[in-house]
A and B are shown apart, each in its own frame.
Chain A
Amino acid sequence: MNAIGWIRLAVIGAAVGALELASRSGLIDHRVVIAPSEMADALVRLLISGQANGQIALTFGIVIAAVLISVVVGFALGAAIHALPRVRQTLEPLFATYYAVPIFIFYPVMIAIFGLSVIPILLMGVLTALVAMIIATLNGLDRIPRVLMKVARVHRMGRLQTALRVSLPAAAPHLFTGIKLAVSYAFIGVIASEFLLAPAGLGRIISDAYSDFDNRRMYALMLLLIVVATLVNMALHALDQRWAQRRGIVRP
């Protein structure tokens, strides 16, 4: 790790340490925020006790399903829309406004339609992630250098061969950006929906712990969520960097 990485670690460490000190010395009320060490302790105990494991598995299962659906369907739709310029032109304003609309205002509508079950939650995950994947696919297909397509023609490649050996690898970095976005958006979509209203799941039990004034449980689950989300994003970022290096472009 380089110097900047160490400084970053020190900054985060100092922030956590300050919170710990403030909490231990009574500067921050225990009923508001508990000490980070206590959060970690509560999380370990909760995981060992297995009380919340079912809920945790359920939520992460929905997130994974939402990501898979969004990536596959988003790519397919993106490729289809790319092939139909007139359709694309019509949809362009929709894409431009899509993420400006607070999507969660539709969650109650989903519940009214599908009932209070896993389906509206999964749908919210897909709805938040899908369009990012479509946009990334369009970007990727737009940015394939024309010369590559000419090379494919020179080699007399068929449509399928061109798609698999030229278009797909050339668009891959953009597609990966789409996948990265889809993962974090699906996470936000699923957790936020569960948090607002859900029959079960991680978001629901955090919200329940809040209503029960069970701060240890609430902070333990929040910590879990933050750690998992951060680790997943870091892993995707590292993968992205490595591929960029292999292509000879090192992005900061």
Chain B
Amino acid sequence: MTATQRATDALIILALMLLAWQALHQAVGATALPAPLPTLSYLAKFLPTARFAANAWATLVSFFYALILSYALGLAIGIWMGIHRLSGAVGEPILISLYTLPKVTLYPVVLLIFGLSVSGRVTFGAMHGVLPVALLTMNAIRNIPPVYLKSARALRLSRWQTVFTVLLPATLPEVVSGLRIGFSLTLLGVLLAEMFAAKQGLGFLIINAMQLLQGEEMITVTLVLFVFAALANMLLLAIDHRLHRRV
């Protein structure tokens, strides 16, 4: 697919979304859903404010720590379960059922342990992100052709040398796919935590604006998060595709 074609497609989707938004606005009225144009002008006014900056910063900080935790734990668990076959066989179904569980309901437990703090939001975000990273890393290691490991043994590489010079490059594409999904789910976790119970952050802003019937602010923050998530995913997807093509 050529670049112009892709750009046209993106524009078509964008136009359709705006049309749908406008149509929905006409159908339900301005109090329930403000029209695109007034919302966009509100967006332009809202983005430079200190209130937005403070809340966006709060979300970013929680998200950053949660992401580091997800990646570190997820990679550690994935590598361990990929290398140690028995742990992998025993643990995989457990991880999969945890993955499909609605983890939101466990947020009160996190709150009881950490209170209404950043650590709680970070933990909850990490709970969402760890599993896909671990599962995809494990699968990536399992799918390594055995001959790679044999040559590593023939070269008498140490355990760590094997990890860094054989396992890592061979598994990178799939691991990056896991990191991409982990990124999205960690963001989801952090935002859910902010929406359920927090006094700051973009998730809190959305819920707060809804309760105060400030439709424009609610849609504005939703839009900002939507664009952030979509752009980040597009970037990660491009890296992902490039790595997959390289092999």
Contacts and interface: CB of A to CB of B under 8 A. Distances in A.
Interface of A: 4, 7-8, 11-12, 31-33, 89-94, 96-97, 99-109, 111-113, 184, 187-188, 191-192, 195-197, 203, 206-207, 209-210, 215, 218, 221-222, 225-226, 229-230, 233-234, 237
Interface string B55-76: 0000000000000000000000
A206 B105 CA distance: 7
A222 B110 CA distance: 13
A192 B108 contact: no
Nearest to B214: A112
A4 B104 CA distance: 30
The 6 closest A-B pairs by CB, nearest first: A100-B233, A210-B108, A108-B210, A184-B100, A102-B188, A191-B102
Interface of B is mostly: helix
B192 A99 contact: no
A226 B109 CA distance: 14
Interface residues of B, number: 60
Contacts of A105: 191, 195, 203, 206, 221-222, 225-226
A138 B142 CA distance: 28
Given A102-B191, A113-B28, A196 B102 contact: no
Contacts of A104: 188, 191-192, 195
Contacts of B222: 105-106, 108-109
Contacts of B96: 233
Contact of A113 (B32, B113, B203): B32
A209 B24 CA distance: 36
Nearest to A224: B105
Contacts of B10: 93
A4 B90 contact: yes
B9 A93 contact: yes
B6 interface: yes
Given A93-B9, A108-B207, 12 more contacts: A4-B90, A8-B93, A91-B13, A100-B184, A102-B225, A104-B188, A112-B215, A187-B102, A188-B102, A192-B104, A195-B107, A225-B105
A7 B90 contact: yes
Interface in B92-121: 93-94, 96-97, 100-109, 111-113
Given A32-B112, A93-B13, A234-B97, A109 B104 contact: no
Contacts of A101: 184, 225-226, 229-230, 233
Contacts of A215: 112
**Residue from B12, B28, B187, B188 having most chain A Cβ neighbours under 10 A:** B188
A7 B103 CA distance: 25
Nearest to B218: A108
A192 B102 contact: yes
18 contacts: A11-B91, A32-B109, A33-B112, A96-B234, A102-B184, A105-B203, A108-B209, A108-B222, A112-B32, A113-B32, A188-B104, A192-B104, A196-B207, A197-B207, A203-B105, A222-B105, A233-B96, A233-B100
A203 B192 CA distance: 13
Interface string B211-227: 00101001101100110
Contacts of B213: 112
